Chain A
């Protein structure tokens, strides 16, 4: 799907000037609050109108100030999921879900409620009123409602911000699988880099009312490594835990990691800060950290006053953060063999 936007909009003191073209299926919009992300998305959905210029979606002109075209929101077939579920309080869950579906032209109704309910696990909720649902349930219904409208693009404006962490990372797989299964591209807004990296493969960075960068989530994370409080977050999907000495041993690609905060579930997502990875030139004699693995340097990149070192352990990669001094001392270059050490307690479970 291709979005082409060259538009300007003023809201009192705030002004947005966006000029970009982007192609993709899982696109992110990243920025701080007040940077203009919601405005941008609002323009796309037709909730606000640009003061000037134009917006194109897959070649179709949605708005043009010169040609005086303005496709009304209800005809754009762009569904939105907001930060707050916005479920219609006077309708049941089922009626909410079917709201967009009923207003869809016959031909476009390829996604039906039966197929959706299974994926989002909504079977038990259908006949209930919306007011007594939990936050996560509401957000799932909201998502289901947007999907059932059979849109050609799904806009998600910070849909996870109001949820607690465990819930967040439980919903993310839903979001992705729904999009892939029903073939609906989406635009995902967030101020969380981790969410961005899990959800999207391209990111537009917005600040002070304009697009300042168009990059991948990973690159973005690397660029921000130094300013971030927690360095670069390595996201690791691990599986098949075994109990070993009070710790959990997970399979990591063709290697193994010992983790203290594990559990019995077959799969888990962990985060590991780049600052918690220690690099060694030679195999140390004995260390307290329970994880010690040989690795090879893949690349290095500058990050302010620090250096990011990407290493490969077998078929897996992680990024470590070291000082320039360390790079000189250990002679860290592409292709060099090193050892990495990580404490079992340094891994934090996300889901």
Chain B
């Protein structure tokens, strides 16, 4: 019992430090625009005006749709492609397997600013500039996801696969009915973070989008910032961007807690 209290206390402190700035962001976003609050004083009243103003920006709906498409399509594509590749890297043996894996992983190791311009050249050569294709497809090669899933699939006991093998299941069946269900917690975690990375992505959508119609939320809201934006303006834009991520996380939370009980192994 005492151990539980101690754990809860420490965890609460850490959580407070983690969520503090988010709460500040929320409070500032809800403060009346003309009376500055952070960091001088607490707001005397809260208002949704700033947020409403952000939401009623002309192209807001368009930007949001773009961002939703960007993030959702990426999540689906990354989960599918990465899990397939991870299955192979975890369970199949072939010559040069590890060399291939680490060659692919090495592509994560180039700093983004060095790859930015060549990537845009490739997109431009394909004629995908200022389109969904150019925005989404180059970001789908996510080797981190492959590595993560490979680690978890490797950790699954052989008995599970042997049992399926005896049942006469081919790779596709094994992948679909064993690997995917057992990896649900990891896939859910991945889904949240891939969504997050794409939703909050700024530099790549900035560089790929030419027209206002192709902008994502982060880029679009940034194009509204000028010399006289107040703190409340900036924070309400940031809140509008940040809240969906938190919501997606809360919604997908249930899947994160799934355990793989021993009883479920070895059918």
A binds B: no
Please give the residue numbers on chain A whose beta carbons come within 8 Å of chain B beta carbons, in ascending order. Answer: none
